[in-house]
Structure 1
Amino acid sequence: MRKNKGTSGKSSDTPEVTRVRTPRKDKNEILATVGTLLGGKRVTLQCMDGVVRMGRIPGSKKKRMWVREGDIVIVTPWDFQDSKADVIWKYTGPQVNWLQRKGYLK
């Protein structure tokens, strides 16, 4: 059995390149901040377009994506009811830092 040596083989002076998923305008995706957890799979979202929406975490993502208050997520507003949206992606801490540096977050 191999033991982990604790080093990844990279030198510490090389910058790490990260890929961050950005919202796609052609699919009507926008960034949002999670306000409050309403219970079950519902959350309140403060979207970047200025609208407060009620968000729903689909069942396929509920166990894989643990959403807390203050998280930055990508949402897709419903076509027939603009006050509701589906949460489709959650950003990690380093990804949020990258979004702030690149100017995606206000």
Structure 2
Amino acid sequence: MTANEGGRKDLRMPDEDEVFAVVENMLGANRVKVRCADGQERTARIPGRMQKRIWIREGDVVLVEPWDWQDEKADIVWRYEKADADQLREEGHIE
């Protein structure tokens, strides 16, 4: 992630099977309720590699990978910092 002369950072963008989401509710047991950019509300799982290293709170912008066998569930793969989320909003990637 490098900063360009205009203050813009190169951010991680979603792959073909990932979507942007906003954390709506903390459910406990490493689960959160997210509102995805495709209009669906899913229960997302915080994987073990992120549990103690990256703290996820309500209102955070995350990347999720929906399960292909159960569409109402997903795995969180990335969390954006507040400044990065603001940049995504300015560039029109998320609302």
In structure 2, C-alpha distance between the alignment counterparts of 1:15 and 1:49, rounded to whole Å: 30
How large is the RMSD of aligned CA atoms in angstroms? 1.1
* Equivalent of 2:67 in 71, 75, 78: 78
Instruction: Show structure 2 runs of 5+ residues with no match.
Output: none
Larger Rg: 1
* Equivalent of 1:96 in 82, 85, 95: 85
Instruction: Show structure 1 runs of 5+ residues with no match.
Output: 1-13
Q: What corresponds to 1:8 in structure 2?
A: none
Q: TM-score, normalised on structure 2?
A: 0.90
Q: TM-score, normalised on structure 1?
A: 0.81
Map residues 5-24 of structure 1 onto 2, 5 A cutoff: 15-24=6-15
Matched residues, number: 91
What's the secondary structure of 2:89's corresponding residue? helix
Q: For residues 24-76 of structure 1, what are the alpha-carbon distances to aligned partners after superposition, in whole Å with 9 as ceiling and x for unaligned?
A: 12xx0000010110012000010010111000000011111100001000000
What's the secondary structure of 2:43's corresponding residue? strand
In structure 1, C-alpha distance between the alignment counterparts of 2:29 and 2:52, rounded to whole Å: 12
One-letter code aligned to 1:84: K
Map residues 17-96 of structure 1 onto 2, 5 A cutoff: 17-25=8-16, 28-96=17-85
Divergent runs of 4+, >6 A: none
